[in-house]
Amino acid sequence: MTSELVIKDLHATVDDGAKAVLKGVNLTIRQGEVHALMGPNGSGKSTLSNAIMGHPHYQVTSGDILLDGESILEMEPNERARLGLFLAFQYPVAVPGVSMANFLRTAVSNVRGYTDQPMVSDNNRPGMVGSNLMPMREFRNELLSKMDEFHVDRSFAKRYLNEGFSGGEKKRVEILQMAMLQPKIAIMDETDSGLDIDALRVVSDGVNKLAGPGLGILLITHYQRILNYVQPDFVHVFFDGRIVISGGAELAHELEAKGYQWVKDEFGEAELVKA
């Protein structure tokens, strides 16, 4: 069965709820599809990604988000992740004191259900506390293989997560996380932000390796440049809290050539009032 994420007439506010940011978003993303979501700054694209994952600063006021027909609005972010959602952040944060390997082993163990199993003690190592995490040898072999495949230096496994990493290194590590967690639907919030051309190519190569029948992708971006490397099946223009135009890859080229002013002119406040 093909999984799908359905966003139905979604409205949402930020923090104190004084200002509506999402104003009726409708979108369906299925496994095997790549959707590009493009729009000017302040249009609500990042709010949409955070609302999908259940960030507590964003309140859904009406509408629904369904994964495989089940509403996820009342679920915590970790529950949404276990069901198969993944969010790559625009600005990944550093986590001092937590190595990348320990972070990933814990996350993978949770998503794959190891943490639901009873703790197993290691009889060959007296005094060692039991664990309900993915077996270390199995995890290590998979991690190192994925690090090589997605061009992440093996030494990063022992470093604190994202601490001292360049922008490109942080984004590559997020692609690695996605490869290890194996989501059904991935939301990538401006993954191309802050990348030079070489890092952009490496990250895009990682996205293309992961794209396929088992993964649906929502690729949020301002610019067409990442779409030179990651071919979208659908392109959506996001403005003033909603999708105003949808089309194929040619729509991204039109936006690159003409900018967003024509979108603002056509779908500005006067148009919204009429609606």
Token pair of 271, please? Answer: 């148009």
**Please, which residues have CB within 8 angstroms of residue 150's CB and are 6 or more apart in sequence?**
172, 175, 176, 179, 206, 209
> What is the reported pTM?
0.89
Domains of the chain, each with CATH number or no CATH: 4-121+130-218+226-274 (3.40.50.300)
Residue 13 pairs in a beta bridge with 20, 59
Q: Strands 242-247 and 234-239, how do they pair?
A: antiparallel
Residues in the chain: 275
- Residue 22, number of CB atoms within 10 A of its CB: 26
- 117: its two tokens: 């199993």
Q: What is the 3-state secondary structure (H, E, C) of 175-208?
A: HHHHHHHCCCEEEEECCCCCCCHHHHHHHHHHHH
Give the separation between CA 75 and CA 179, rounded to whole angstroms.
Answer: 23
pLDDT in tens, the chain (275 residues): 899 999 999 999 987 767 889 999 999 999 999 999 999 888 899 999 999 999 999 999 999 999 999 999 999 999 999 999 999 988 889 999 999 999 999 999 999 988 877 766 555 444 444 468 999 999 999 999 999 999 999 999 999 999 999 988 999 999 999 999 999 999 999 888 888 888 899 899 999 999 999 999 999 998 888 999 999 999 999 999 999 999 999 999 899 888 888 888 888 753 433 32
